[in-house]
Amino acid sequence: MAPPSLVVEEIYTFYGLSQVLFGVSLEVAPGECVCLLGRNGVGKTTTMRSIMGLTPARRGRVVWRGRDITSKAPYQIARAGIGFVPEDRRIFADLTVWENLDVAGRRRGGAGWTVDRVFDLFPKLSELVDRQGGFLSGGEQQMLTIARTLMGNPELLLLDEPSEGLAPLVVEHLKEQIGRLKSQGLTILLAEQNVGFCLDLADRVYVLEKGQIRYRPRLCAREGADPLSRHGPRVPGGRVHPPPVPRALSHSRVIASIGNLTNGPGCSRAGSDRRDRQPGCPSRGTEA
C-alpha cells in the first residue's frame, strides 16, 4: 500500500468547554475510500470539520501529503486539494444549478473537473441547469453539493453523511456515483451511519463511539479474520494498523457485530455539535 496521503494523529477537539473528540487517529492512502462509521452524536462530523479546519483540534495533528495543516484556515486547506461536502449541503439557494457550479470552478493546468464532466456524473443536474438551488429536492441538492465540490478539483473528498434523509432509490443512485468517483482514483473519506452504504464502498472502516475510534476493521479477502478485532497489530513507533476483515462477510454479520455501536439506544451526546445527533433526536425527514 502507498504511504497515506492523509494522517490524523491523536486529535482532541472541543466546542467551547465541551470536548467531542478524544484522541482520534486515522489514515487514508491515495485512491482509498475509507469510512468513518458510527451512530449520530459520536463525532463523525466533528472529525471532518477538524480535518477541514472549520473546528480546529486543540491537540494532535492533521497531516496532508506530508504537510501539517492543523492550524491552516479552511480556504488554505481547500486550495491544498481537500474538498468538503457538508451534511447540510450549503448550496446557494438563490443561484441556479449552473451558477452554483460556475462559482466553485477552479482549474489546475487546464485539466480536471468541468461542468460537462459533472453533468456526465449526475445527468439529472443537466436537466435542471437553470433551476434555482432552493427549488431542488433533497436528492438533487445532494448531487449539486457533491458536483460543486468536485468543481474545485480536490484530490481528497470528504463526504459527511451523504445518504442521510434521502429516499432509498436516491441513496442507491448516489452510491453508484460515489463508486464511479472511487473507480476513477479519487481518494475519499466518508462519514456514515448507514452500514450497508458504507460497506459497499469502503476499503477500510473506522468505527467511532463517544468521540474515540473503537474498532479498525479492514475489508479484504482474507479468510478467517475477526470482523471487528478491537486492535490491529502494532509496528515500530506504536502505530496501529487495521486488521483484515473478509470481504465476503455478509452485511448482517457485520451489522450484528457493531450494532451496539451504530444502533445503540439513547440520545446522549458526544458534544455540542448539532449535526451529530443520536437516534431518537430530531433530524430531517426523508427527502426525495
State mean pLDDT over 27-36.
95
Q: Is residue 11 one of the residues assigned to a domain?
A: yes
pLDDT number for residue 108: 57
pLDDT number for residue 1: 61
Which residues, 6 or more positions from 19, have their beta carbon under 8 angstroms from its beta carbon?
A: 12, 13, 211, 271
Percent of the chain with pLDDT over 70: 73
State mean pLDDT over 49-54.
96
pLDDT number for residue 254: 54
Mean pLDDT of the chain: 80
Phi/psi of residue 231, nearest 5 degrees: -135, 140
CA-to-CA distance for 208 and 24, rounded, in angstroms? 9
pLDDT number for residue 190: 96
pLDDT at 261 > cutoff 60: no
State mean pLDDT over 2-6.
90
Q: Is residue 268 one of the residues assigned to a domain?
A: no
Q: Is residue 236 one of the residues assigned to a domain?
A: yes
Q: Is residue 248 one of the residues assigned to a domain?
A: yes
Q: What is the domain-level CATH number for residue 20?
A: 3.40.50.300
Burial 81-101 (b: 16+ CB within 10 A, else e): bbbbbbbebebeeeebbbebb
Domain containing residue 198? 6-92+155-173+184-262
Give the tens place of pLDDT for each residue, 73-85.
999 999 999 999 9
- Determine the 3-state secondary structure of 52 from DSSP: helix
Q: Is residue 118 one of the residues assigned to a domain?
A: no
**What predicted TM-score, i.e. pTM, was given to this entire model?**
0.76
Q: Mean pLDDT lowest for which of 126-135, 174-183, 252-261?
A: 252-261
pLDDT number for residue 250: 47
Give the tens place of pLDDT for each residue, 201-224.
999 999 999 999 998 765 543 333
204-209/33-37 β-pairing: parallel
Give the tens place of pLDDT for each residue, 118-133.
999 999 999 999 999 9
pLDDT at 145 > cutoff 60: yes
CA-to-CA distance for 95 and 101, rounded, in angstroms? 10
Q: Is residue 68 one of the residues assigned to a domain?
A: yes
pLDDT number for residue 257: 52
CA-to-CA distance for 274 and 266, rounded, in angstroms? 16
Number of compact structural domains in the chain: 1
Q: Is the dihedral of CA 280, 281, 282, 284 positive or negative?
A: negative
